[in-house]
Structure 1
Amino acid sequence: MTDPRSTTIATDLTGPVAPPDLSAAEREHAAWRAARERKLCEPHGWLSPVALLWPTSTPRPLPGLPGEWWVADGRLFTRPTAGDTSALVGDLVRYGAPTSVAVAEGRSLVLGTYLPEGRSGADGEQEVAVEVVRRTGRYGLRLRDPQAPTRTGFPGVPAFAYDPAWVLDVPVRWFDRAVSLTVGAAQPRLVHHVEAVGEVEIAHDHLLLLTGTLAQPRLLFTDETDGVAPWRVLRAGVPGEEPAASDTLRLDLNRATDLPFAFTRFGTCPAPVAGNHLPFAVPAGEKAPR
């Protein structure tokens, strides 16, 4: 496989703009990249996190947040305090009593939003969203601020130019029963529990495990390419087709994407399954963000 040139497709907050002389496959890829970057640029998308906080069993204020926060009996609690200059609002927030929520391991939800002191308006570009996560048995709070510099100064995700040589139809073996595995995470002292649903063979007996579900398998992997994130993810299969209905699986490595941890320090993303490494360069898909 040849090492394709780096893409020079122009970007802005609407995503890549495809030149008119591209092939149909290149135009489809450019449209996919544009949709990908629009999603990243949503007000509370993965370019907006500015903090990841870990409340304890003792009720106390947390930096940048209104109220005080604590964990008890498997739930996260919050309540306003007298010195608050802003207030948490949302459908899940109780007024006049402590608010509490429970989140399953590995899951998250947006508890509410608040308007930081000094900001005005509620147009979705000013309010900070408070996401509750539960990782390795601990509750965390991820603050998503539309005014984060990672979002307001977003130049686009650098990527390799589309190369049809990296669209692979590979043998796949689906497991009769999903295999439960524990993997690392982008944050220290955290783990994730994932399920392997099958394995694919890539280039001369390199077997990599697929995680996720039979309907939506994904491949987390590392390789030898310079200038890419520590690991990337690929949604496997052809859109509109049932992946598990075939003994081959399409891997369009042009669509290998960076996980949230590559854009900010506040992602808790799962690491690849041990052994999901390709001992050669895959100069396709997204590079490490600038």
Structure 2
Amino acid sequence: MKRYFLILFSFMLFNCTDSLKEKGAPEYIDRIKEWRNKRIENLKKENGWLNLAGLYWLKEGKNSFGSDPSNDIVFPPEAPGFIGYFVLSDSTVTVKINDNIEVYENGIPVKEKLMRSDMDDSATVLQSGRFKWFVIKRGNLYGIRLRDLESPLLRDFEGIETYPVNSDWRIEARFEPYNPPKKINIPTIIGTTEEEVSPGALVFEKEGNAYRLDAIDAGNRLFIVFADKTSGIETYGAGRFLYADKPDSTGTVIIDFNMAYNPPCAFTRYATCPLPPKQNYLNLRITAGEKNYGELHH
């Protein structure tokens, strides 16, 4: 009996170890690993997601800001106490800086300025010490997004756990066009809904079952927001993101779930991520791509 359990344990250990092995041609595995490394580099950049330190929605009229608790918008304690104020008037945001405070835009001192939002060609980015901020627009909401260039999350970041690369999750899908392209509602984590254009659905088979995903037109590529049966358990609860090339001449699209990645909201509460539309919840365990960074990290 003892020998039986030893053999059984060895068999289970072998299968467990084998399941952690990567699968695919060496050049394919290297390509996915290179993509993942680039992804980490981008997260760590100054315009990445790891240094977000605040998101403050503006009220109509005057909004004072700085680290002093008496402000309408309270920056972290390392910022100056009273920096100035934002004025939201209809669809414009103007910033006015207090006389004794130094704030810069690209190294040039700023005292009063009309701020372009992230929905414009380029947002106005202001800086004081280790902090940078700019205006974001979401629906009818205007807010201030704050970056801390010395963010503890950036300093302590150790990467993202992923499933082993497995070429079985590089799947050929059939593109079913919507004619005309269909408008779909994409909910967001802040409670708003964005209307996006879907040029068609990606239809694929896995384990003998058919699945479909509505894709969003992202210019020269397709963008997919999806959730699956790993969501909230092994992967981020609010779904994952994925890009794919547009269909080739035969109407084929390659969906590579090894490149599925966490939305910014997996790392910070100061992002405004889209959520999967209900039709993109898959009754399938997609054991590929990034795993959950974890709500415990923020």
TM-score tier (shorter): 0.7 to 0.9
Match of 1:197 among 192, 196, 199: 199
**Any idea what SS the aligned residue of 2:105 has?**
coil
**Any idea what SS the aligned residue of 1:25 has?**
helix
Q: Extract unaligned runs of 5+ from structure 1.
A: 9-21, 117-126
Counterpart CA distance in 2 for 1:108 and 1:5 is 47
Counterpart CA distance in 1 for 2:267 and 2:49 is 7
**Contact 2:60-2:90 within 8 A present in 1 as well:** no
Stretch of structure 1 that moved more, 217-226 or 62-71: 62-71
The match for 2:74 is: 63
The match for 2:242 is: 234
**Any idea what SS the aligned residue of 1:143 has?**
strand
| Structure 1 segments of 4+ aligned residues over 4 angstroms from their partners | 2-8, 93-96, 106-109
Q: Measured at CA, do residues 135 and 69 of structure 1 come closer, stay the same or move farther in structure 2, by a change above 3 Å?
A: same
The match for 1:26 is: 29
- Post-superposition Cα deviations, 1:229-276, rounded to whole Å, max 9, x if no partner, equal 120011012xxxx53544111001000001111110011011122210
Counterpart CA distance in 1 for 2:182 and 2:123 is 30
The match for 2:96 is: 79
**Contact 2:115-2:123 within 8 A present in 1 as well:** no
User: Which amino acid in structure 2 is aligned with residue 256 of structure 1?
Assistant: A
The match for 1:181 is: 184
Q: Measured at CA, do residues 214 and 77 of structure 1 come closer, stay the same or move farther in structure 2, by a change above 3 Å?
A: closer
Query: Matched residues, percent identical?
Result: 20
- Post-superposition Cα deviations, 1:151-209, rounded to whole Å, max 9, x if no partner, equal 1111101111100110000111122332222221122x322221111101132332210
Greater relative contact order, per chain length (Cα 8 Å cut-off, separation 6+): 1
Query: Hey, which of these two has a bigger chunk of strand by percent?
Result: 2
The match for 2:125 is: 112
**Contact 1:170-1:249 within 8 A present in 2 as well:** yes
**Any idea what SS the aligned residue of 1:60 has?**
strand
Shift, 1:139, TM fit? 0.7
Q: Extract unaligned runs of 5+ from structure 2.
A: 1-14, 65-72
Counterpart CA distance in 1 for 2:63 and 2:219 is 43
User: Which amino acid in structure 1 is aligned with residue 141 of structure 2?
Assistant: R
**Any idea what SS the aligned residue of 1:257 has?**
coil
Q: Is structure 2 residue 103 aligned with structure 1 residue 101?
A: no
Q: Measured at CA, do residues 196 and 87 of structure 1 come closer, stay the same or move farther in structure 2, by a change above 3 Å?
A: same
The match for 1:89 is: 105
The match for 1:262 is: 266
- Post-superposition Cα deviations, 1:208-232, rounded to whole Å, max 9, x if no partner, equal 1001236211111000013201200
Shift, 1:36, TM fit? 0.9
Stretch of structure 1 that moved more, 170-179 or 28-37: 170-179
The match for 1:249 is: 253
Counterpart CA distance in 2 for 1:218 and 1:58 is 37
User: Which amino acid in structure 2 is aligned with residue 283 of structure 1?
Assistant: T
**Contact 1:222-1:278 within 8 A present in 2 as well:** yes
How many residues were matched structurally? 257
